[in-house]
Amino acid sequence: MLPLLTCCLFLLYSLYHVFAAAGSSSSHQYAPRSYPVVGCLVDFYWNRRRLLGWYTGLLAASPSRTIVVDRLGARRTVVTANPANVEHMLRGNFGNYPKGKPFTDVLGDLLGGGIFNVDGERWYAQRKLMSHEFSARVLRRVVGAALEREARAGLVPALDAAAASGAVVDMQELLRQFAFNVICRVSLGAKDPGCIELALPLSRLAAAFDAAAAISARRGAAPVAAAWKVKRALGVGSERQLRDELKVIHDAIMEFIRGSREKRPAGRDRDDLLSRMAAAGYPDEAIRDMMVSFIMAGRDTTSSALTWFFWLMTLHRDVEREVRDEVNACMRDHQEGFGVDLECSRKMRVLHAALCETMRLYPPVAWDSKHAAEDDVLPDGTRVGRGDRVTYFPYGMGRMESIWGADACEFKPRRWLTLHPDGVSPFKYPVFQAGPRTCLGKEMAFAQMKFVASAVLHQFDLRPVAEDTPVFVPLLTAHMAGGLKVTVRRRPPQQHNGTCAI
């Protein structure tokens, strides 16, 4: 009797929901199918392996490009692909949309009090300190040197070896290793001549970051948050592994900080992040957390974008030819033929357009959430309650015809060349976030991506091993399921006159 009654109730609620949605066009009526008590948990569960496509479809059908997701075990979530809403939360009413405690809960063990995981005064102070790290001078001196050294030591020899042997290379893995080593060189000075060595190989540190980031991301995606909290309290399963990997990361960085203090006391010539934090009175744990945030920010984002970029180049050989012509015109005057320098890279419009278009369709940060400090109403009329999660959704926004036109899902870099000189509004294209908390590393990211794209395309041809369309997986940072397996051919040497011709 009881099961029959439950079935009837579910049926009645489903019918109610269908009619309610059909009869109204207001944004907050647009929501996945919902049932008493469990909310949309059932639909959420069925779509858990394709949340991006599911949300994108629901958002495209919603007149205001906003949906509300309510389910048992999770807080009410407003997901928006509406540029006016995005501007409101990231700039207009910035103070009301901190990351909030739920975010800190999920990522707190990994990120501690680092810039990614704090709000208010603590965030502002770190942002001011960190912004020095992204000045043009540091970019040119430190980042340029790190890119050159890593290309010479790792990336180019690996591709050369694959070209010589015919072996298959996973570009995604190669690019991730490259980005990790570069960010460690930039933030820790690791492996630099005369700098403090880490106590363990970079590859072990990278593996610890990988595991810790993946487990933390799974916490955030769990249908019911209590599940990982219980495992953490008991110290079992993935939560135990997380604890062990965090110990590897924290020990290595703390040892580095202490070693650096002893062997390289702060002086007038020291203007790196570590020294500036120490001079500002930050304790070692706070410096460690800042370093972890810095490494997390810089490691997987550029490699994710570049993986999709190289795959798209293999599909669109006409675009690849245009990019390669620009690269060849821009290569520096040195025989080894490694990537373009900062000045040249700033002038590369075609490559810039191809990278922007890649990230429009495959954004390294597919979605990002804040938590409302107080009740609010978004510009499209959606009600936000105190404590609600509000998610802006770069992946879905990149595919909205209402923003990009009927060809929104096509890869067409040329659309970027015809845009207004000020470019597209960051609230329509929040790939680097927007407003006061916009990505600090945007320029560094473009410099790095252009360096790698030019180093690879100038010297090598890549052929994908599989013909299927790869799957986009949105963890903390997105990646390609199974990697990008390619074979490599060395290109004949290119003629260039040693000047920047564009």
Site residues (vs ligand HEM, CB under 6 A): 115-116, 127, 130, 294, 297-298, 301-302, 305, 364-365, 368, 431-433, 437, 439-441, 444-445
* Alpha carbons 42 and 35: distance in angstroms, whole number: 8
Q: What's the closest the beta carbon of residue 137 comes to ligand HEM, in angstroms?
A: 16
Q: How far is the CB of 487 from ligand HEM (least distance, A)?
A: 26
Please, which residue, 127 or 240, has the CB nearer to ligand HEM?
A: 127
Nearer to ligand HEM, 127 or 149 (CB): 127
Task: State the SS3 of 403-472.
Answer: HHCCCCCCCCCHHHHCCCCCCCCCCCCCECECHHHCCCCHHHHHHHHHHHHHHHHHHEEEEECCCCCCCE
Pairing verdict, β 485-490 and 460-464: antiparallel
Q: Cβ of residue 29: shortest distance to ligand HEM, in angstroms?
A: 29
Q: In angstroms, what is the minimal distance from the CB of 139 to ligand HEM?
A: 10
Question: Considering the complex, what minimum distance in angstroms separates the CB of residue 144 from ligand HEM?
Answer: 14
Beta carbon nearer to ligand HEM, 131 or 494: 131
| Alpha carbons 393 and 80: distance in angstroms, whole number | 6
Residue closer to ligand HEM (CB basis): 350 or 488 = 350
CB of 501 to ligand HEM, least distance (A): 27
Cβ–Cβ under 8 Å, residues 69 and 77: yes
Instruction: Assign 3-class secondary structure to 189-256.
Output: CCCCCCCCCCCCCHHHHHHHHHHHHHHHHHHHHCCCCHHHHHHHHHCCHHHHHHHHHHHHHHHHHHHH
DSSP-assigned letters across all residues of 250-294: HHHHHHHHHHHHHHS---TT--SHHHHHHHTT--HHHHHHHHHHH
Cβ-closest position to ligand HEM: 441
Helix ranges restricted to H, 316-419: 317-330, 342-346, 349-361, 394-397, 401-404, 414-417
Beta carbon nearer to ligand HEM, 294 or 311: 294
CA distance 353 to 350: 5
Contact 126, 290 (CB under 8 A): yes
Could you tell me if 335 and 381 are in contact, meaning their C-beta atoms sit under 8 angstroms apart? no
CB of 433 to ligand HEM, least distance (A): 4
Nearer to ligand HEM, 34 or 177 (CB): 177
In whole angstroms, how close is the CB of 161 to ligand HEM at the nearest point? Answer: 27
The smaller minimum CB distance to ligand HEM, of residues 139 and 500, is found at 139
Nearer to ligand HEM, 310 or 432 (CB): 432
Taking residue 236's Cβ as centre, other Cβ atoms within 10 Å add up to 11
Rounded least distance, CB 361 to ligand HEM, Å: 13
* Nearest to ligand HEM of 30, 404 (CB atom): 404
Please tell me the distance from the alpha carbon of residue 98 to that of residue 119, in angstroms, as a whole number. Answer: 6
The type of residue at 408 is: A
